[in-house]
Amino acid sequence: MDTTRFRQLPAVHKLLESDVVTLWCKSHARTDVVRALQEALRQARAALREGDEPESWDSSAILRVAHEVLTGQSLLHLRAVVNATGIVLHTNLGRAPLALEAVAAVQASALGYSNLELDLETGRRGERYDHVERAICALTGAEAALVVNNNAAAVFLILRELANGLPVAISRGELIEIGGSFRVSEIMRESGAQLVEVGTTNKTHERDYEQALQAGVSLILRVHASNFKMLGFTSKPPLEALVARAHAHDVPVYEDLGSGSLFNLKKAGIGDEPTVRESVEAGVDIVSFSGDKLLGATQAGIICGKKRYVDRLKKNQLLRALRVDKLTLAALEATLWLYRDEEIARTRIPTLQMMTRTVEDLQSDAESLASALRASLAAQGAHADVRVTRVESQVGGGALPSEDLPSYGVALRVAGVPEQMLLERLRAQSPPIIARIMKEEVIFDVRTIFAWQRDDLVRGITNTCAG
């Protein structure tokens, strides 16, 4: 192939110096402009390979195509990406992908009207929470349930209703900070609850809680440390013992499970994360957890527990400010009902399916991806070192921080091109490809790559190496 045909194409930095592109940069993000120029050049190279004459792809023609790309891509700033990081619940990438059943439910609700707050039997106004309450109670054993827009909102609402102006006991070792610098202690203060610290950072005993109970605390807050793990000289009371001691003083126990799981990951050999049902069966009065973490649904704060406490939350005026919309409820309900059968949940909910994939399956995927990539690079005359390698995936999203999941990936190295530059080029592809660097190689962990994304991934990597 005559590569001199490609050399006649203008470089991106030269195009950026033109007056028209300078104007584009005033009304669009520079990264979007660069991405549009790169896409136009990709189309030009493809056309030249098919026999187009270089004269038909002068600067004016390339700018015309780039403008079409820029106009189209600027309509939506929130874009789908290829997650090749191996982090299943990647917070920056939107956490849990939805099951197809959840996507279908969202689409059905979004395209028209729904019985969001209509009782179809009586024809009267209904409660939006009824759509998910039955499923949550069936799966957890709770008496009642409620959903708000995230778990931080759930914590705030519960403390505001059950402990506004009242003392709440919490172990010093559970005064955690979650993403975005949100601290449990600050949320407690904002809710109006009075913080009563018990025990020490590494050890809290039943007697510490007993002292707080005798001093008149109104609630015991137990926070599951889902985003870190404390090892060594540590201890805390068993949940059942804590509940029994609190109930002896007629004081309720609230457990914030954080990531929260309905699936028994211990059976799959992944960590020792407690399930929501285990907390309910231990006698906890009220439990809250996230919808878009281990559950594998959309962002939500799920509250379940004793009916007398949940009913109080439903009557709190703050609930209207925290309520979820029909699309969230549609996605959540569809996801919850997949849990009626653990095997169906494991295979159809992407979060669980990714977490429980076998090493053999991952290795096979990595080898297939590497083979396809080598063939694509060769066809385009691009050069890169491609190999299959063992890697470690992570659950992410502040869940199971000490659990590394054995996985396989494809390692990429391009002579003379720094790894950070490769990452930048990958992010400029359509769709953007998000990878990571390990030992001076760019890694594409196949655990989090969907099968339907592979063609886009191969094309994007090839363009990156060829550009």
Neighbours of 444 (CB within 10 A): 29
What span, in angstroms and rounded, lies between the C-alpha atoms of 361 and 374?
A: 20
Helix (H) or strand (E) holding 146: strand 144-148
Alpha helix stretches (DSSP H) within 147-289? 151-163, 184-191, 206-214, 239-248, 276-281
What span, in angstroms and rounded, lies between the C-alpha atoms of 436 and 420?
A: 9
| Cis? peptide before 431, omega within 30° of 0 | yes
pLDDT at 31: 84
Q: Which residues of 411-440 are buried (b: 16+ CB within 10 A; e: fewer)?
A: bbebeebebeebbebbbbbbebbbbbebee
For each of the chain's 467 residues, which pLDDT tens digit applies?
Answer: 456 667 778 888 889 988 889 888 887 778 888 988 998 888 888 888 877 777 778 888 889 889 888 877 655 678 899 999 999 999 999 999 999 999 999 999 999 999 999 999 999 999 999 999 999 999 999 999 999 999 999 999 999 999 999 999 999 988 877 766 678 888 888 999 999 999 888 888 999 999 999 999 999 999 987 666 666 677 888 999 999 999 999 999 999 998 889 999 988 888 888 999 999 999 999 999 999 999 999 999 999 999 999 999 999 999 999 999 999 999 999 999 999 999 999 999 999 999 999 999 999 999 999 999 999 999 988 889 999 999 999 998 777 777 899 999 999 999 989 999 999 999 988 789 999 999 999 999 999 999 999 999 999 999 899 86
Cut 0.85: pTM above it:
no
CA 28, 32, 36, 37 torsion: positive or negative? positive
CA 134-140-144 angle, 5° bins: 45
pLDDT at 177: 76
* Distance from chain centroid for Cα 254: 25
pLDDT at 401: 74
Domain 79-97+351-467 and domain 100-348 have a common topology: no
* Distance from chain centroid for Cα 179: 12
- Helix axis angle, 206-214 to 239-248, nearest 10°: 20
Of 399, 362, 140, 447, nearest to 270 by C-alpha is 399
pLDDT at 3: 62
Assign domain 79-97+351-467 one CATH number from 3.40.50.12160, 3.90.1150.180, 3.40.50.300, 3.40.50.970: 3.90.1150.180
pLDDT at 467: 66
DSSP bridge partners of 178: 182
* CATH number for the domain formed by residue range(s) 100-348: 3.40.640.10
**Domain extents for the chain?**
1-76, 79-97+351-467, 100-348
What span, in angstroms and rounded, lies between the C-alpha atoms of 173 and 223?
A: 9
